[in-house]
Amino acid sequence: MIRTNIYIDGNNLYRGAKELGFGIDYKKFYGWLRQKYDTSNIYLFIGLVPTRTKFYEHLQECGFILVFKQTVSVGGVIKGNCDAELVLKTVSDFYNKAFDKCILVSGDGDFGCLVEFLDNNSVLDRVISPDENKCSILLRNKNTEITFLNEHYHKFSKKSS
Compute CA distances 53 → 59, 60, 114, whole Å: 10, 11, 30
> Can you give the pLDDT of all 161 residues of the chain as single tens digits?
899 999 999 999 999 999 999 999 999 999 999 999 999 899 999 989 888 999 999 999 999 999 998 877 788 777 777 889 999 999 999 999 999 999 999 999 999 999 999 999 999 999 999 999 999 999 999 989 999 999 999 999 988 76
CATH superfamily of 4-159: 5'-nuclease (3.40.50.1010)
Tell me if 97 sits within 8 A of 90, measured CB to CB: no
Predicted model pTM: 0.94
Instruction: Provide the strand spans (E) within the chain.
Output: 4-9, 22-24, 41-48, 65-70, 72-74, 77-79, 101-105, 124-129, 146-148, 157-159
